[in-house]
Structure 1
């Protein structure tokens, strides 16, 4: 066994990140990147990608075959799409079913919302994580460990304020304007669409809106649609008013998610002096455009807004170490940036 070595994996619908932490010092001894590990996209690929990541990390600690068959002391996984106990059990059973290829002596599996909270704030700390990447969701945890949730139901039922949702709404708007149908948002009629329309055609490698049909049906790829938001963000930075509006609107949806979990939390807990809020996901890189509408729609909720400096895989490793009685020494103040405080 690779004693005092704990693996953490942050897994999402687009990619996954792995770290190996020393249980004694908290130092990161190894980093790896891999494919998506959301079981709802492909369960078999999720298991394959987890195994591939851990095997790749294990090779950092020796080339001999005996090392390849040696287990880490713990493997912590915080993955998107694993809120139910049934899917968690299925993943853990699949990872351990091949005898000597079992990856670790101990496992801990939790949703991708808990890894960031553990990384930023540690155990027994109340806090809220607002994820806005490919998808979106809000999760809040009390000091007693009770979890409150809003969103996270996927791109058909929710994902408001996410990169996918932002791209989709802009694509709809451009199609409506091309067809002279106006738009579903009256306030957007004043904006010129020409820059973003050209970016859209270039990004999706199409020459007419008719070519969107396979992209949303026969060859649909959620991450590909969400990726268009990077182009929107670049246009916003280049002062395109419609692009900036896209992020302003996302701020409203994200504020709604936060208010939902906050109201649930207050049913069981006193009002916090300042809510520890953690923003995770690529959308928060556009905080400059999101923040005005986000803050103005929070109904005066007191909060301190943080972002992570490093991967939430650190929290995943910390979870599994604690499960075997080891508290990895982490300086959490060095793991976060404070972006805003009201």
Structure 2
């Protein structure tokens, strides 16, 4: 029965080109973002028979910046680029139109219809929208950081800790994510040193546990000035803020854990956000605007992971389908932002 359903589904899909979008059409659903959350949302929405399209800056999203993935169920080890390619092939096989280099510059809604205007000036319309634009890790913005990204500089201890088994690593940050990363890395690394430019902002229970871990050294009121290396990171230059003394600390890796910046675009003016600027959603990924859903790293869901973003995208698509089952044009106060 399952196989027959898949065959019938593909037979009934419209033969759209994967790149063709029509600004004159009222889509059931427009998905903003082409990473794991957006692509899985497209997969689930299309399988529900919805007329959809994806608008994205980059096909694959942050997956393209991920060197390796070995914590996605069913995939032992894969590059982020290859995994993104497989995700895209799955979605495009269902004839989902995907428009790349499509950054949304303005959003408006009227009478239950949502309008997304791109930087190019073209506007697309839909009965519902899923925002899955992801986030990006905050950077220290110091010399050498970008050069050694993926060559010793990392932004996700959950993702990359196994790559530093038995090695000496540094953590930059003083919040919960930095402290938790230090505790996680201490389980596999030879030695961990946490460096923070001021005092801890993390919860006391986590900080207390940090001080009890023999493999972790702590340096507060210390600023990281530069990442040093040749083909890969070999050390960082730091400055003690009390004395002004500068020195180099040798290490195999530097994990920068100072938070993420949600990619909100024009939606930051109309959606409810938390203190970190993430979109607030309920258990069905609904935002404060009817017909607007959000999924993945751009929302307040904890643990920014590929598998969680993909799962969130599926949930948002199912909720959007539920919303569309009762959709009808309705007079509503217009919402507009740029």
- The alignment's TM-score, normalised by the length of structure 1, stands at 0.26
Higher strand fraction: Structure 1 or Structure 2?
2
Calculate the TM-score normalised by the size of structure 2: 0.26
